[in-house]
């Protein structure tokens, strides 16, 4: 079976090389000095501010609604439960451009809710709120899916024990389920955040690319591509660094593996 | 103290896959053990009292307080029932220290409980680093810190190292001795039940078969099932009167024994292992029943040895077993008196 081992190793090497090579090339194109200089340019800085602001708001919305939703989906079963989970996961496989069109057809001026909101004096499309909605739509499944798995991984016996110790449902959630699911939640949170940072297709269709308003880092890269390629590369490197830092940070969240508590 | 009767009232029916759990009993102060084989519905009983399982119908309550009442549509959630529960695997919170585990349900009594369960020196440890006996004490302290009205223990000995069993059992008896509230303990092990409780209820397929003190159950088991749970040999046979106030029983498998119990027809013959003597040569004496068979197994439990030969298990001191040179395969004689041979009609 030696040839088979060899095959596995070669396949793995090809995968790693193919995924890593473009990233290496990116870093070879910019020196740290160039990076800082490019970021000093107005376009990049504006885009960074727009991105951080919209991502932060979007992420708060994702965590705020996604965590309780995932807890419910993980701890209760009802008719249509699996259909609900499937619907939540749908945006994962939806092309982002389609997501943008779909959002426009709800919130756009001619959309489902557009007229009503027009009367109320609210306009969402092509504003910063549209960026936030696009990011939430595309990124939230990454969090909710992972959060369901994390909550399902918490030993039901511990939740029941908490209830016999006179803990209210809120206390069971906040003192037992939440800390024990922390690692999985953090992973999902980071995945969703990184996915949100890189959001492009839905944003450009639903929010447009207006500098200082809706132009996020990915949109800025696209915008700079034919004007200042070096700047585009510098912004790309910045995105890679932020993403890598976040994925590394997850490892610091404590994990409560159920198998470390077997009796001895 | 005195006039007030603490009383847990249980009367409910709950459907399980293979049978219905149907139970009805009252528990005043003191400790009752429910003994039965696994899958007999013991854990379901505790979970139902705690509110983690919902019966089809019935009533569960404490004194004049109703926790569940199908007619009055009452079904309090677990957190409103004031039940202290010790789970089989102890269900300690892995992310909290011993102290925070104990204080989870009741901060006021945490210090008192840590002291009483001798956990003060361990209070900053995490459950992972505790031994089985220590975890049991944390689970007990945690349950009692909420100041419950009743205490429920689910197989408290099951997840412990067998080598430490006797030690932990003595310790548990000690600690439970200080518990003033009605306590219900379930176990599959009659020896554990007898060591810990003054009253034992034998349960099978969701029903209580017999309730009594350990010695009552051993002296007069209601049927072969109860007898075998208490550790007796139960052998099927056919009895008929043999004169002189004796019954003669032809055992399944060909042996013949006598009993002072009167019986006719199909019976369960009940003999306790400690009433069976083992010898290599037949000695003249008052003992009437002798079964000659090869030894199937011989297992040492410390100073006691259990020898199985033919249809009976005998328990003798390890010293005697060694003196006789008993070992697997050799032929020996099991002897027991007709007066120690109970017959229960089937």
Mean pLDDT, all residues of chain A: 89
Say what the pLDDT of residue A228 is.
82
Say what the pLDDT of residue A147 is.
96
Nearest CA in chain B to A257: B94
Say what the pLDDT of residue B184 is.
95
Asked whether residue B275 carries a pLDDT value surpassing 80, the answer given is: yes
- Give the pLDDT confidence of A15-40 residue by residue, as tens digits: 999 999 998 988 888 888 877 877 77
Say what the pLDDT of residue A257 is.
56
In which band, very low, low, confident or very high, does the pLDDT at B2 lie, cut at 50, 70 and 90?
very low
Q: Are strands B183-187 and B207-212 parallel, antiparallel or unpaired?
A: unpaired
- A242 part of contact set with chain B, CB < 8 Å: no
Q: Are strands B74-75 and B65-69 parallel, antiparallel or unpaired?
A: antiparallel
Contacts of B142 in chain A (CB under 8 A): 165
Contacts of B132 in chain A (CB under 8 A): 263-264
Is A176–B143 a contact, with Cβ atoms under 8 angstroms apart?
no
- B78 part of contact set with chain A, CB < 8 Å: yes
What SS3 state is found at A261?
Answer: helix
Nearest CA in chain A to B85: A164
Buried b (16+ CB within 10 A) or exposed e, B274-302: ebbbbbeeeeeeebbbbbebebeebeeee
Average pLDDT in the A148-173 region?
A: 95
In which band, very low, low, confident or very high, does the pLDDT at A263 lie, cut at 50, 70 and 90?
very low
Is B146–A165 a contact, with Cβ atoms under 8 angstroms apart?
yes
Nearest CA in chain A to B126: A261
Q: Would you tell me which residues 121-160 of chain A have a C-beta closer than 8 angstroms to some C-beta of chain B? A: 155, 157-158, 160
Say what the pLDDT of residue A260 is.
43
Contacts of B81 in chain A (CB under 8 A): 164
Report residue B135 as tokens. 């975890």
Average pLDDT in the A53-67 region?
A: 97
Nearest CA in chain B to A161: B91
Asked whether residue A180 carries a pLDDT value surpassing 90, the answer given is: yes
Alpha-carbon distance of B232 to B312, in angstroms, equals 9
- Give the pLDDT confidence of B292-303 residue by residue, as tens digits: 999 999 988 878
Fold of A28-96+127-149+184-252: MetI-like fold (1.10.3720)
Say what the pLDDT of residue A124 is.
83
- Give the pLDDT confidence of A192-238 residue by residue, as tens digits: 999 999 999 999 999 999 999 999 999 999 988 888 888 888 888 88
- B109 part of contact set with chain A, CB < 8 Å: no
Average pLDDT in the B253-280 region?
A: 92
Asked if A224 and A235 touch (Cβ cutoff 8 Å), the reply is yes
Asked if B91 and B46 touch (Cβ cutoff 8 Å), the reply is no
Average pLDDT in the B152-161 region?
A: 87
Is B78–A160 a contact, with Cβ atoms under 8 angstroms apart?
yes
Average pLDDT in the B159-173 region?
A: 82
Kind plus residue range of the DSSP H or E element containing A180? helix A178-180
Nearest CA in chain B to A259: B128
Going by C-beta distance under 8 Å and a sequence separation of 6 or more, which residues neighbour residue A231?
A: A38, A41, A43, A44, A224
- B163 part of contact set with chain A, CB < 8 Å: no
Is A158–B93 a contact, with Cβ atoms under 8 angstroms apart?
yes
Write the burial class of residue A178 (CB in 10 Å: 0-12 exposed, 13-18 middle, 19+ buried): middle
- Give the pLDDT confidence of A78-94 residue by residue, as tens digits: 999 999 999 998 988 89
Distance of CA A148 to the CA centre of its chain: 15
Kind plus residue range of the DSSP H or E element containing A189? helix A182-197
Is A260–B94 a contact, with Cβ atoms under 8 angstroms apart?
yes
Q: Could you tell me what percent of chain A has a pLDDT over 70?
A: 96
Write the burial class of residue A61 (CB in 10 Å: 0-12 exposed, 13-18 middle, 19+ buried): middle
pTM of the model: 0.82
Kind plus residue range of the DSSP H or E element containing A25? helix A2-29
Q: Are strands B247-251 and B233-241 parallel, antiparallel or unpaired?
A: antiparallel
In which band, very low, low, confident or very high, does the pLDDT at A264 lie, cut at 50, 70 and 90?
very low
Contacts of A177 in chain B (CB under 8 A): none
ipTM: 0.82
Average pLDDT in the B146-151 region?
A: 94
Say what the pLDDT of residue B6 is.
53
Average pLDDT in the B187-191 region?
A: 91
Is B143–A165 a contact, with Cβ atoms under 8 angstroms apart?
yes
Asked if B300 and B254 touch (Cβ cutoff 8 Å), the reply is no
Q: Would you tell me which residues 173-202 of chain B have a C-beta closer than 8 angstroms to some C-beta of chain A? A: none
Ranges assigned E (strand) in B110-255: 150-154, 183-187, 199-204, 207-212, 233-241, 247-251
Is A261–B128 a contact, with Cβ atoms under 8 angstroms apart?
yes
Say what the pLDDT of residue A259 is.
43
Which of B79, B94, B95 is closest, CB to CB, to A167? B79
Alpha-carbon distance of A109 to A76, in angstroms, equals 38
Contacts of A162 in chain B (CB under 8 A): 93, 104
- B89 part of contact set with chain A, CB < 8 Å: yes
Which of B91, B131, B135 is closest, CB to CB, to A161? B91
Which of A164, A260, A264 is closest, CB to CB, to B85? A164
In which band, very low, low, confident or very high, does the pLDDT at B244 lie, cut at 50, 70 and 90?
confident
Average pLDDT in the B185-202 region?
A: 92
In which band, very low, low, confident or very high, does the pLDDT at A251 lie, cut at 50, 70 and 90?
confident
- A251 part of contact set with chain B, CB < 8 Å: no
Say what the pLDDT of residue B1 is.
38
Distance from CA of A174 to the nearest CA of B (A): 12
Question: What secondary structure letter does DSSP report for B329?
Answer: T
Short-list B252, B251, B247, B261, CA closest to B344? B261
Say how many CB pairs under 8 Å bridge A and B.
Answer: 73
Asked whether residue B283 carries a pLDDT value surpassing 70, the answer given is: yes
Distance from CA of A184 to the nearest CA of B (A): 15
Preferred mutation among B50, B67, B89, B133 to probe A, highest tally of A CBs within 10 A: B89
Average pLDDT in the A122-138 region?
A: 91
Average pLDDT in the B245-253 region?
A: 92
Q: Could you tell me what percent of chain B has a pLDDT over 70?
A: 98
Asked whether residue A258 carries a pLDDT value surpassing 60, the answer given is: no
- B77 part of contact set with chain A, CB < 8 Å: yes
Say what the pLDDT of residue B38 is.
87
Say what the pLDDT of residue B80 is.
94
Preferred mutation among B53, B95, B125 to probe A, highest tally of A CBs within 10 A: B95
Distance from CA of A87 to the nearest CA of B (A): 31
Say what the pLDDT of residue A117 is.
81
Q: How many CB atoms lie within 10 A of CB B342?
A: 22
Contacts of B84 in chain A (CB under 8 A): 164
Distance from CA of A82 to the nearest CA of B (A): 24
Contacts of A166 in chain B (CB under 8 A): 79-80, 82, 105-106, 146
């Amino acid at each position: 079976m030696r040839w088979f081992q060899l095959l596995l190793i070669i396949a793995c090497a090809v995968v790693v090389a193919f995924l890593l090579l473009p990233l290496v090339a990116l870093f070879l194109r910019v020196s740290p000095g160039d990076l800082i200089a490019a970021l000093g340019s107005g376009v990049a800085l504006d885009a960074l501010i727009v991105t951080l602001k919209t991502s932060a708001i979007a992420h708060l919305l994702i965590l705020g609604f996604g965590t309780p939703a995932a807890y419910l989906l993980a701890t209760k079963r009802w008719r249509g439960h699996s259909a609900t989970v499937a619907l939540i996961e749908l945006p994962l496989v939806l092309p982002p451009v389609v997501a943008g069109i779909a959002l426009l057809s709800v919130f756009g001026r001619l959309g489902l809710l557009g007229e009503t909101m027009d009367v109320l004096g609210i306009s969402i499309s092509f504003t910063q709120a549209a960026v936030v909605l696009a990011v939430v739509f595309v990124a939230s499944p990454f969090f909710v899916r992972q959060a369901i798995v994390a909550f399902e991984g918490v030993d039901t016996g511990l939740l029941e024990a908490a209830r016999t110790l006179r803990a209210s449902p809120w206390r069971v959630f906040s003192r037992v389920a939440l800390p024990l699911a922390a690692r999985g939640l953090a992973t999902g949170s980071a995945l969703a955040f990184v996915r949100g940072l890189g959001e492009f297709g839905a944003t450009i269709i639903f929010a447009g690319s207006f500098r200082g308003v809706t132009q996020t880092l990915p949109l800025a890269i696209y915008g700079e591509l034919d004007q200042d390629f070096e700047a585009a590369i510098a912004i790309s490197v910045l995105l890679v660094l932020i993403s890598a830092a976040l994925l590394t940070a997850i490892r610091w969240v404590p994990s409560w593996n159920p198998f470390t508590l077997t009796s001895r | 103290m005195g006039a007030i009767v603490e009383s847990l009232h249980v009367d409910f029916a709950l459907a399980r896959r293979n049978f219905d759990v149907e139970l009805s009993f009252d528990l005043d102060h003191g400790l009752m053990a429910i003994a039965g084989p696994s899958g007999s519905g013991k854990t379901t009983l505790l979970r139902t009292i705690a509110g983690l399982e919902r019966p089809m119908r019935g009533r569960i309550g404490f004194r004049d307080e109703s926790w569940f009442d199908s007619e009055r549509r009452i079904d309090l959630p677990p957190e409103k029932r004031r039940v202290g529960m010790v789970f089989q695997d102890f269900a300690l919170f892995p992310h909290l220290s011993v102290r925070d585990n104990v204080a989870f349900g009741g901060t006021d009594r945490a210090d008192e409980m840590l002291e009483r369960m001798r956990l003060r020196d361990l209070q900053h440890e995490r459950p992972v680093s505790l031994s089985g006996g220590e975890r049991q004490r944390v689970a007990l302290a945690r349950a009692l810190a909420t100041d419950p009205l009743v205490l429920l223990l689910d197989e408290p000995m099951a997840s412990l190292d067998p080598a430490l069993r006797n030690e932990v059992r003595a310790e548990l008896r000690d600690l439970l001795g200080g518990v003033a509230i009605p306590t219900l303990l379930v176990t599959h092990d009659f020896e554990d039940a007898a060591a810990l409780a003054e009253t034992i209820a034998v349960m099978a397929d969701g029903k209580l078969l017999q309730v009594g003190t350990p010695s009552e159950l051993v002296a007069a088991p209601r049927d072969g099932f109860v007898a075998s749970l208490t550790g007796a040999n139960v052998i099927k046979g056919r009895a008929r009167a043999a004169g002189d106030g004796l019954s003669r029983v032809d055992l399944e498998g060909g042996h013949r024994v006598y009993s002072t119990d009167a019986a006719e027809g199909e019976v369960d013959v009940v003999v306790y292992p400690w009433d069976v003597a083992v010898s290599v040569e037949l000695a003249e004496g008052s003992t009437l029943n002798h079964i000659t068979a090869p030894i199937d197994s011989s297992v040492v439990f410390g100073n006691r040895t259990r020898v199985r030969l033919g249809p009976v298990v005998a328990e003798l001191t390890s010293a005697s077993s060694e003196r006789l040179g008993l070992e697997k395969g050799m032929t020996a004689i099991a002897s027991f008196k007709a007066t120690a041979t109970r017959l229960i009609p089937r």
